[in-house]
Amino acid sequence: MMLDRPALPRRRRLLISVLLIGHLMAVALPPLAFQTSGPIGASPAVNTALAPVRGYGEFLYLNRGYAFFAPDPGPSHLFQVALFDPERPDAAPRETLYPNHEIGWPRLLYHRHFMLAEFLEEIYQPPGPPPELVREDPLAAEQWKVFRERYEAVRGSVVDHVKSRHPGKRVALRRLEHVIPDLITYQSESIRLDDLRLYQVQADRPVPTFEGQPASAPTVASEQSP
């Protein structure tokens, strides 16, 4: 004969339900906030729903985007290093793409190159600031300079490391974006994921001003170091 278990008090059941719903929100909403983010920020509706559980999610490290492993992860980023021989100015440079599964061994090294490439893209700041920003918001203009200096310092450290591994060579570095073909493109042509057309060079140049003119002259040294 089975004995009926005593039912939990209504208030306790309500509390457990609230805690479970809150935990599920903390798990599900951060990826949703990441996916609904745009040029002007995340979705206000998602941010409002996430606000009550944001601290809880940060405490348990649940606020992850998971975009890279999602069905639609978006573009990935790489950087390409070119080595020039000063004694042979007419010779083609030796170019290497990072991350590179052929030379990224042990696998942790490949992962470190992958993270470095994404970090370079994340902290990238164009040359500047634009003149109108200097006039209208000096504080924002100073912040622009700080972000640009940080990017140049990190990029410079990569160039210096390559130089230390290849003494006497001139080193150039450029960022690349590897896009994924959309459904319509793929249906019209079954393009391979490693097709060269999917790799786009991320130019390092000033943003246009409101008048459509460059804010300042492009600096070659930002992508190439002698």
| Digit-coded pLDDT (tens) for 93-147 | 999 999 988 887 888 888 899 999 999 999 999 998 999 989 999 999 999 999 9
| Helix intervals (H) in 64-219 | 107-123, 131-136, 138-165, 183-188
pLDDT at 201: 93
pLDDT at 40: 67
Crossing angle for the helix pair 138-165 and 107-123, to the nearest 10 degrees: 150
Q: What does pLDDT average to over the chain?
A: 83
Structural element, H or E, at residue 76: strand 76-84
pLDDT at 215: 44
Beta-carbon contacts of 117 under 8 Å, excluding residues fewer than 6 positions away, are 76, 77, 78, 79, 98, 99, 175
Q: Find, among 180, 196, 177, the residue nearest to 72 by Cα.
A: 180
User: Looking at this protein, which amino acid is placed at residue 160?
Assistant: D
Q: Find, among 180, 176, 175, the residue nearest to 73 by Cα.
A: 180
Beta-carbon contacts of 4 under 8 Å, excluding residues fewer than 6 positions away, are none
User: Where are the chain's structural domains?
Assistant: 10-67, 74-225
Q: Find, among 167, 192, 179, 171, the residue nearest to 80 by Cα.
A: 171
Q: Find, among 194, 207, 97, 102, the residue nearest to 144 by Cα.
A: 207
Given a cut of 50, the residues of the chain with pLDDT beneath it are 1, 212, 214-226
| CA–CA distance, 84 with 33 (Å, rounded to integer) | 44
Q: What is the pTM of this model?
A: 0.65
Q: Find, among 52, 110, 37, 77, the residue nearest to 202 by Cα.
A: 77
pLDDT at 209: 65
Tell me the CB-side half-sphere exposure of residue 184, using CA atoms within 13 A: 0
| Digit-coded pLDDT (tens) for 141-155 | 999 999 999 999 999
CB 215 within 8 A of CB 131: yes
Concatenate the DSSP letters of all residues of 12-52 into one string: HHHHHHHHHHHHHHHHHHHHHHHHT-BTTBS-HHHHHHHGG
